[in-house]
Amino acid sequence: MALLLAIESSCDETAVAIVRGEAGGAAEVLASEVSSQIELHREHGGVVPELASRNHSLRLRGLVEKAISDAGVTMPEIDAFAATTGPGLASSLLIGSTAAKGMACAADRPFLAINHLEGHLLSPFLDRTAVPPHLALIVSGGHTLLLDVEGPGRYRKLGGTRDDAAGEAYDKVGKMLGLPYPGGPEIEKNARGGNPAAYDFPRSMLHDPHLDFSFSGLKTAVLYTLQKANGKVSTADLSASFQQAVIEILVGKTLRAARESGRSVIALSGGVSLNQALRRAFQDACAKSGHELITASPDFCTDNAAMIAFAGLLRHLAGECSPLGEDIHPNLPLA
């Protein structure tokens, strides 16, 4: 049985979590603290890196203390410390990784450098330490990634976005429509009262033979529609039509990737996977195709440290550790 504390600070959420687990057995999240900076960045319409890193450093100590107290453990009981070291904003990554290394050094315990995307990828499996072979779709603000997963640490990239990530497209379209940041949940709310067939937006690359994505043409199509109508459009219809295009692209390509890779399990993770309409579309498609769908629990879709702790726990239980001199890697790929 091992106890692990992890810090996530790759973008604008400061997060600390403690997990407990044993090799081949169950894993348990004992504490998961997330301090969102959304309000702070909202007036700027997006994340301001320097504001984000300063706030990580202000909030981190309090979050570590709260996690220790919520988990009902003491610092000397922690067996290993982990932190996200990439990809993400350099100044933000430095705060969390330096703090985790400092704690590991002071406690003379191992440090584990974790890839943020591995955290998302493993987040649907947080309640177990056995991760089955599957086809993974990570859809977040920074990434849209299809991977074939043999098991923990064994990932093969099948496709990714060639321009904007799905969440980024949601956020940019939200901005065009004058909705608050982040646009994803706002567009989902507006789309509920709209007609998804009101506008025929492009489903870029949906039928191309490769498994890459492109969302910038869709975003531009929304912009042109707004410009042509002098902004006099129904936000609900536009949101619903935009969302319908995103859903058809994501579901279509993911199901094809699962068929081609022969995987029977599909796992969804990342902030965009919170979207209820997207989840329903995946449930319907998987019910028809016979694939098993596993989604991350809503608490663990957007950025959090529980997923980083879980990834760290699996690596720690496998006997791995990282050097304390490990650098941050803002553009770190997963596979």
Contacts to ligand KG4 by CB under 6 A:
11, 140-142, 167, 170-171, 182-185, 188, 270-272, 274-275, 302-303
Which of 165, 174, 118 is CA-nearest to residue 139?
165
Compare residues 110 and 167 and give the one whose CB is closer to ligand KG4. 167
Number of residues counted as binding Zn ion (CB under 5 A)? 2
Q: Figure out which of the listed residues 122, 303, 305, 313 binds Zn ion, where binding follows CB under 5 A.
A: 303
Residue 32 contact partner, candidates ligand KG4, Zn ion, none, CB within 5 to 8 A by sort of partner = none
Compare residues 63 and 285 and give the one whose CB is closer to Zn ion. 63
> In this structure, what are the phi and psi dihedrals at residue 266, rounded to the nearest 5 degrees?
-120, 130
Question: What residues between 179 and 208 interact with Zn ion by CB under 5 A?
Answer: none
Residue 185 contact partner, candidates Zn ion, ligand KG4, none, CB within 5 to 8 A by sort of partner = ligand KG4
Compare residues 139 and 321 and give the one whose CB is closer to Zn ion. 139
Q: Report yes or no: 156 and 139 within 8 Å, Cβ to Cβ.
A: no
The minimum distance between CB 71 and ligand KG4, in angstroms, equals: 23
The Cβ of residue 309 has, within 10 Å, a number of other Cβ atoms equal to: 38
Q: How far apart are CA 14 and CA 25, in angstroms?
A: 29
Produce one character per residue of 225-260: b if its CB has 16 or more CB atoms within 10 Å, e if not: bbeeeeeebbbbbbbbbbbbbbbebbbbbbbbbbee
Q: Figure out which of the listed residues 91, 140, 204, 239 binds Zn ion, where binding follows CB under 5 A.
A: 140
Contact pattern for Zn ion over residues 142 through 181, marking x by CB under 5 A: ----------------------------------------
- The edge-to-edge listing of strands for the beta sheet with 13-21 is 27-36, 13-21, 2-8, 80-86, 111-115
Q: How far apart are CA 29 and CA 26, in angstroms?
A: 10
Compare residues 27 and 47 and give the one whose CB is closer to ligand KG4. 47
Residues that bind Zn ion (CB under 5 A): 140, 303
